[in-house]
């Protein structure tokens, strides 16, 4: 007998994962080149050479007992955290120190850590549809309650009026994700300032601390030189969650960090709580070799040209076929309107052409589908004739 909370989870599992495993299955039958698997956000750009070089250098130069042993602090190596802080300060004009950085097991691990540190049962966490469906599970892990702001399907920017009305005295946190999964939008500075003003007003009105959690694994995947604001500069009670999964193509290695600035309310306790949560949730510390790797690779520029070409090719191709979609400015997803109201029907139709998409209802936004374009360029090119056949079904 599994636990009751898990019964529902197991039954409903993950549509993204299901599609991904379906894609692997189809690839075995039809050959990978004949399957257009746009389901999982698994980066197709290889990790930069600097990662391999860093690992080999570390193996050759460091004492293995130190390299593979538990770190002194659950937050990670002090020199790594110091380097991360300095890198952020240099890039964004912030003022972080090593103590503000907690190395984490990916962004997913970091979100679990910060939510465990913050949430009491019944606390509300606001998310903006469409949003990464796992937020719902992370919040549920700590008996929080997700409050959704409905999607603005014109722009996929946050609906600030609705946001303001849905902040209550129980609102503990707000999660934003920009560049965004699944839409690819970037929130401009203007939007951030307005959000911050609303949250400040509500904090004063209720006498509460409302934490803004900025989940930003796609920060470096921003096209056309668009600026991605650094949110701690706009709102004091901001916690940043980051991961190298997309920027260094290391999703399987599970390495990221949390930033808990001194300016955040109760920051000292929050940092201590994040350390303890890291330990008792079983992470103990972020993987040690990878901590040192990311330090060595802090200045590596993510090559986004690959994703950018895919973005242009797929977006233009789908628009020409009559599909509706805003042009994403970041991340590696297109959020396309389904030609029929029930997008799961559309996903089923697409599967006939070996095109795998994820239904928007997985992201709290039915009527849309997510297309992950972190795939080979050839996959994009070869999929377009199939999309054309699919589109023809709906003329």
Q: Are strands 101-104 and 124-128 parallel, antiparallel or unpaired?
A: unpaired
151 vs 261, beta carbon nearer its own copies: 261
Among residues 156, 242, 257, 283, the one that binds its own copies under rule CB under 8 A: 283
**Spatial separation of the C-alpha atoms in residues 370 and 357, rounded to whole Å:** 6
For the bound state, the minimum distance from the C-beta of residue 212 to its own copies, rounded and expressed in Å, comes to 15
For the bound state, the minimum distance from the C-beta of residue 379 to its own copies, rounded and expressed in Å, comes to 13
For the bound state, the minimum distance from the C-beta of residue 176 to its own copies, rounded and expressed in Å, comes to 18
For the bound state, the minimum distance from the C-beta of residue 254 to its own copies, rounded and expressed in Å, comes to 5
Among positions 236-255, residues that touch its own copies (CB under 8 A) are: 249-254
Among positions 256-275, residues that touch its own copies (CB under 8 A) are: 265-266, 269-270, 272-273
Q: Report DSSP state, residue 375.
A: S
**Spatial separation of the C-alpha atoms in residues 144 and 123, rounded to whole Å:** 5
Among positions 195-214, residues that touch its own copies (CB under 8 A) are: 209
For the bound state, the minimum distance from the C-beta of residue 113 to its own copies, rounded and expressed in Å, comes to 8
372 binds its own copies (CB under 8 A): no
**Spatial separation of the C-alpha atoms in residues 136 and 286, rounded to whole Å:** 23
Among residues 287, 328, 359, 360, the one that binds its own copies under rule CB under 8 A: 287
Length of the chain: 395
Structure tokens at 60: 């050759």
**Spatial separation of the C-alpha atoms in residues 26 and 386, rounded to whole Å:** 16
Measured from the Cβ of residue 280, the count of other Cβ atoms closer than 10 Å reads: 12
CA distances, 59 to each of 49, 65, 67, 249 (Å): 16, 11, 8, 21
**Spatial separation of the C-alpha atoms in residues 316 and 310, rounded to whole Å:** 10
Per-residue interface string for the shown chain with its own copies, residues 321-360, x marking contact by CB under 8 A: ----------------------------------------
47 vs 176, beta carbon nearer its own copies: 47
Structure tokens at 192: 């951030």
269 vs 316, beta carbon nearer its own copies: 269
Per-residue interface string for the shown chain with its own copies, residues 66-95, x marking contact by CB under 8 A: -xxxxxxxx---------------------
**Spatial separation of the C-alpha atoms in residues 303 and 47, rounded to whole Å:** 10
Structure tokens at 174: 């707000």
Measured from the Cβ of residue 154, the count of other Cβ atoms closer than 10 Å reads: 7
185 binds its own copies (CB under 8 A): no
Measured from the Cβ of residue 212, the count of other Cβ atoms closer than 10 Å reads: 23
333 vs 368, beta carbon nearer its own copies: 333
Among positions 18-47, residues that touch its own copies (CB under 8 A) are: 20-21, 24, 40, 42-47
Q: Give 268-272 contacts, CB < 8 A, sequence gap 24+.
A: 270/117, 270/118, 270/239, 271/75, 271/99, 271/100, 271/102
For the bound state, the minimum distance from the C-beta of residue 122 to its own copies, rounded and expressed in Å, comes to 11
For the bound state, the minimum distance from the C-beta of residue 32 to its own copies, rounded and expressed in Å, comes to 12
Q: Using CB under 8 A, which of the segments 2-10, 227-235, 332-340, 355-363 binds its own copies? A: 2-10
**Spatial separation of the C-alpha atoms in residues 177 and 187, rounded to whole Å:** 9
64 vs 224, beta carbon nearer its own copies: 64
With CA atoms as reference, report the closest residue to 212 among 92, 276, 125. Answer: 125
């Amino acid at each position: 007998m599994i636990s009751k909370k898990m019964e529902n989870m197991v039954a409903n599992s993950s549509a993204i994962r299901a599609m991904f495993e379906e894609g692997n299955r189809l690839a075995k039958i039809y050959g990978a080149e004949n399957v257009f698997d746009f389901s999982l956000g698994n980066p197709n750009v290889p990790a930069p050479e600097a990662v391999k070089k860093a690992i080999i250098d570390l193996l050759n130069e460091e004492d293995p007992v130190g390299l593979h042993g538990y770190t002194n602090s659950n937050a990670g190596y002090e020199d790594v955290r110091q380097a991360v802080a300095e890198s952020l300060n240099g890039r964004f004009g912030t003022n972080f120190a090593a103590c503000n950085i907690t190395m984490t097991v990916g962004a997913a691990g970091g979100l679990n850590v910060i939510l465990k540190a913050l949430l009491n049962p019944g606390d509300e966490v606001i998310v903006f549809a469409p949003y990464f469906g796992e937020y719902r599970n992370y919040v549920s892990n700590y008996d929080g309650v997700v409050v959704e702001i409905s999607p603005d399907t014109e722009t996929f920017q946050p609906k600030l009026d609705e946001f303001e009305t849905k902040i209550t005295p129980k609102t503990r946190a707000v999660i934003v994700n920009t560049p965004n999964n699944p839409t690819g939008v970037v929130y401009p500075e203007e939007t951030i300032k307005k959000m911050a003003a609303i949250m400040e007003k509500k904090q004063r009105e209720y006498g509460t601390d409302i934490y803004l959690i900025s989940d930003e694994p796609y920060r470096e995947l921003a096209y056309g030189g668009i600026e991605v604001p650094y949110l701690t500069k706009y709102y004091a009670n901001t916690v940043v969650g980051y991961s190298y999964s997309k920027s260094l193509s290391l999703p399987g290695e599970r390495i990221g960090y949390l930033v808990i600035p001194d300016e955040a309310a109760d920051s000292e306790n929050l940092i201590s709580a994040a350390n303890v949560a890291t330990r008792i949730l079983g992470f103990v510390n972020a993987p040690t070799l990878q901590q040192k790797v990311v330090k060595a690779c802090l200045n590596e520029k993510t090559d986004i040209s690959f994703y950018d070409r895919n973005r242009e090719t797929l977006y233009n191709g789908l628009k020409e076929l009559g599909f509706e979609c805003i042009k994403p400015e970041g991340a590696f997803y297109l959020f396309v309107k389904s030609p029929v109201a029930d997008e799961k029907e559309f996903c089923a139709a697409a599967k006939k052409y070996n095109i795998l998409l994820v239904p928007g209802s997985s992201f709290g936004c039915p009527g849309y589908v997510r297309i992950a374009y972190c795939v080979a360029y050839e996959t994009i090119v070869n999929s377009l004739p199939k999309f054309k056949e699919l589109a023809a079904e709906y003329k």
